[in-house]
Amino acid sequence: MTATDPSLVPSTSAPGGLVKSVVSLDRVVIRLAGDSGDGMQLTGNRFTSETASFGNDLSTLPNFPAEIRAPTGTLPGVSSFQLHFADHDIMTPGDAPDVLVVMNPAALKANIADLPGGGLLIADSDEFSPRNLAKVGYASNPLEDGSLEGWQLVSVPLTSMTTEALKDSGLGKKEAERSKNMFTLGLLSWMYHRPTEGTIRFLERQFRRKPEIAAANIAAFRAGFNYGETTEAFAVSYEIKPAPMAPGRYRNISGNQALSLGLVAAGQRSGLPIFLGAYPITPASDILHELSKHKAFGVRTFQAEDEIAGVSAAIGASFGGALGITTTSGPGISLKSEAIGLAVMTELPLVVVDVQRGGPSTGLPTKTEQSDLLQAMFGRNGEAPLPVIAPRSPGDCFDAALEACRIALAYRTPVILLSDGYLANGAEPWAVPDVDDLPDLTEAVRFATEPNGENGEFLPYLRDPETLARPWAIPGTAGMQHRIGGLEKADGTGNISYDPANHDFMVRTRQAKVDGIAASLPPTEIDDPDGDARVAVIGWGSTYGPIGAACRRIRRSGRSVAQLHLRHLNPMPADLGDILRRYDRVVCPEMNLGQLAMLLRAKYLVDVESHTQVRGLPFRAAELAAVLQDAIDLTQGAPLGADASGGAE
Amino acid sequence: MSTTSSHAAEHVHDLGMPGNPISTAIASSVASQGEKQTALKAKDMKTDQEVRWCPGCGDYVILNAVQSFLPSLGIAREDMVIVSGIGCSSRFPYYMNTYGMHSIHGRAPAIATGLAASRPDLSVWVVTGDGDALSIGGNHLIHTLRRNVNLTILLFNNRIYGLTKGQYSPTSEVGKVTKSTPMGSLDHPFNPVSLALGADATFVGRAMDSDRKGLTDVLRQAAEHQGTSLVEIYQNCNIFNDGAFDLLKDPATAPQWTIPLVHGEPLVFGPDGAACVVRDEVGGLRIAETNQVEAAEIVVHDAHRQDPSYAFALSRLSTQDLRYTPMGVFRSVQKPTYDAMMAEQLDVARAQETADFDALLTGNDTWTVA
User: How many angstroms away from the CA of B160 is the closest CA of chain A?
Assistant: 22
User: How many angstroms away from the CA of A254 is the closest CA of chain B?
Assistant: 12
User: How many angstroms away from the CA of A641 is the closest CA of chain B?
Assistant: 40
What are phi and psi for residue B317, nearest 5 degrees?
A: -70, -30
Are the C-beta atoms of residues A426 and A59 closer than 8 Å to each other?
yes
Q: Which residues numbered 607-626 in A keep a CB inside 8 Å of some CB on B?
A: none
Report yes or no: B6 at the A interface, CB cutoff 8 Å.
no
Hey, which residues does A60 pair with through a beta bridge? A83
pTM metric for this prediction: 0.93
User: How many angstroms away from the CA of B178 is the closest CA of chain A?
Assistant: 27
What would the pLDDT profile of A7-45 be if each residue is shown by its tens digit? 565 555 545 556 778 999 999 999 999 998 899 999 999
Report yes or no: A633 at the B interface, CB cutoff 8 Å.
no
Among A474, A475, A476, A513, smallest CA distance to A491 is for A513
Report yes or no: B77 at the A interface, CB cutoff 8 Å.
yes
Region B311-329 average pLDDT? 96
Q: Which residues numbered 307-346 in B keep a CB inside 8 Å of some CB on A?
A: 342, 345-346
What DSSP assignment string belongs to B178-189?
BTTBTT---PPP
Q: Do A317 and B110 touch (CB under 8 A)?
A: no
Q: Do B110 and A316 touch (CB under 8 A)?
A: yes
Q: Which residues numbered 194-213 in A keep a CB inside 8 Å of some CB on B?
A: 198
Among A469, A476, A414, smallest CA distance to A446 is for A469
pLDDT band with cut points at 50, 70 and 90 for residue B102: very high
Q: Do B346 and A272 touch (CB under 8 A)?
A: no
- Among A478, A480, A486, the residue with its CB nearest the CB of B103 is A486
Q: Do A275 and B139 touch (CB under 8 A)?
A: no
User: How many angstroms away from the CA of A8 is the closest CA of chain B?
Assistant: 20
Report yes or no: B104 at the A interface, CB cutoff 8 Å.
yes
Radius of gyration of chain B (CA): 23
**Euclidean distance between CA atoms A473 and A451, whole angstroms:** 10
Q: Give chain B positions within 8 Å (CB) of A380.
A: none
Report yes or no: A300 at the B interface, CB cutoff 8 Å.
yes
What are phi and psi for residue A103, nearest 5 degrees?
A: -95, -10
Q: What is the pLDDT of residue A70?
A: 81
What would the pLDDT profile of B254-265 be if each residue is shown by its tens digit? 999 999 999 999
What would the pLDDT profile of B23-55 be if each residue is shown by its tens digit? 777 877 777 556 788 889 999 999 999 999 999
Hey, which residues does A78 pair with through a beta bridge? A35
Q: What is the pLDDT of residue A426?
A: 94
Mutate to test the interface with A, among B132, B361, B362, B368 (most CBs of A within 10 A): B361
User: How many angstroms away from the CA of A311 is the closest CA of chain B?
Assistant: 8
Are the C-beta atoms of residues A121 and A142 closer than 8 Å to each other?
no
Q: Give chain B positions within 8 Å (CB) of A297.
A: 355, 357, 360
What is the SS3 assignment for B84-142?
ECCCCHHHHHHHECCEEEECCCCCHHHHHHHHHHHCCCCEEEEEEEHHHHHHHCHHHHH
Hey, which residues does A611 pair with through a beta bridge? A589
Q: Give chain A positions within 8 Å (CB) of B104.
A: 312, 338-339, 341-342, 486
User: How many angstroms away from the CA of A272 is the closest CA of chain B?
Assistant: 6
What would the pLDDT profile of B118-167 be if each residue is shown by its tens digit? 999 999 999 999 999 999 999 999 999 999 999 999 999 999 999 999 99
Are the C-beta atoms of residues A203 and A209 closer than 8 Å to each other?
no
pLDDT band with cut points at 50, 70 and 90 for residue B12: very low
User: How many angstroms away from the CA of B88 is the closest CA of chain A?
Assistant: 13
Q: Which residues numbered 130-159 in B keep a CB inside 8 Å of some CB on A?
A: 139-140, 143
Among B248, B123, B240, smallest CA distance to B181 is for B240
DSSP classification of residue A5: -
Are the C-beta atoms of residues A239 and A12 closer than 8 Å to each other?
no
User: How many angstroms away from the CA of B93 is the closest CA of chain A?
Assistant: 7
Q: Do B355 and A298 touch (CB under 8 A)?
A: yes
> Nearest-5° angle of CA A271, CA A274, CA A279?
170
pLDDT at B3 over 50: no
Neighbouring residues of A65: CB distance < 8 A, sequence distance ≥ 6: A36, A76, A77, A78, A79, A366
Q: What is the pLDDT of residue B83?
A: 98
What distance, in Å, lies between the first and last C-alpha atoms of chain A?
25
Report yes or no: A52 at the B interface, CB cutoff 8 Å.
yes
Burial of A455 (0-12, 13-18, 19+ CB in 10 A): exposed
Q: Which residue of A has its CA nearest to B345?
A: A295
Report yes or no: B368 at the A interface, CB cutoff 8 Å.
yes
Q: How many interchain CB pairs under 8 A, A with B? A: 246
Residues in chain A predicted with pLDDT less than 50, given as ranges, are 1-4, 6, 14
What would the pLDDT profile of B194-219 be if each residue is shown by its tens digit? 999 999 999 999 999 999 999 999 99
- Return the higher-pLDDT residue of A240 and B4: A240
pLDDT band with cut points at 50, 70 and 90 for residue B21: very low
Neighbouring residues of A131: CB distance < 8 A, sequence distance ≥ 6: none
Q: What is the ipTM of this complex?
A: 0.94
- Among A272, A476, A486, the residue with its CB nearest the CB of B30 is A476
pLDDT band with cut points at 50, 70 and 90 for residue B365: confident
Helix H or strand E segment including B30: helix B24-30
- Among B102, B113, B121, the residue with its CB nearest the CB of A313 is B113
Residue type, A639: P
Q: Which residue of B has its CA nearest to A447?
A: B29
Q: Do B25 and A322 touch (CB under 8 A)?
A: no
What DSSP assignment string belongs to A266-303?
HHHHHTPPEEEEE---TTTHHHHHHHHT-GGGTEEEEE
Among A34, A64, A39, smallest CA distance to A426 is for A64
Q: Which residue of B has its CA nearest to A302?
A: B114
**Euclidean distance between CA atoms A625 and A549, whole angstroms:** 8
Mutate to test the interface with B, among A85, A483, A489 (most CBs of B within 10 A): A483
Are the C-beta atoms of residues A266 and A274 closer than 8 Å to each other?
yes
- Among B93, B143, B367, the residue with its CB nearest the CB of A1 is B367
Neighbouring residues of A443: CB distance < 8 A, sequence distance ≥ 6: A410
Among A173, A177, A202, A178, smallest CA distance to A189 is for A202
**Euclidean distance between CA atoms B235 and B159, whole angstroms:** 8
> Nearest-5° angle of CA B308, CA B107, CA A388?
145
Helices (H) and strands (E) in chain B, counts: 12, 12
Q: What is the pLDDT of residue B30?
A: 79
Backbone CA torsion sign across A144, A148, A154, A158: negative
- Among B32, B113, B342, the residue with its CB nearest the CB of A449 is B32
The whole-chain average pLDDT of chain B stands at 92
Burial of A577 (0-12, 13-18, 19+ CB in 10 A): middle
Among B98, B91, B185, smallest CA distance to B129 is for B91
Helices (H) and strands (E) in chain A, counts: 21, 24
Q: Give chain A positions within 8 Å (CB) of B83.
A: 316
pLDDT at B65 over 70: yes
Mutate to test the interface with A, among B101, B128, B337, B346 (most CBs of A within 10 A): B101
What are phi and psi for residue B369, nearest 5 degrees?
A: -105, 120
What would the pLDDT profile of B244-296 be if each residue is shown by its tens digit? 999 999 999 999 999 999 999 999 999 999 999 999 998 899 999 999 999 99
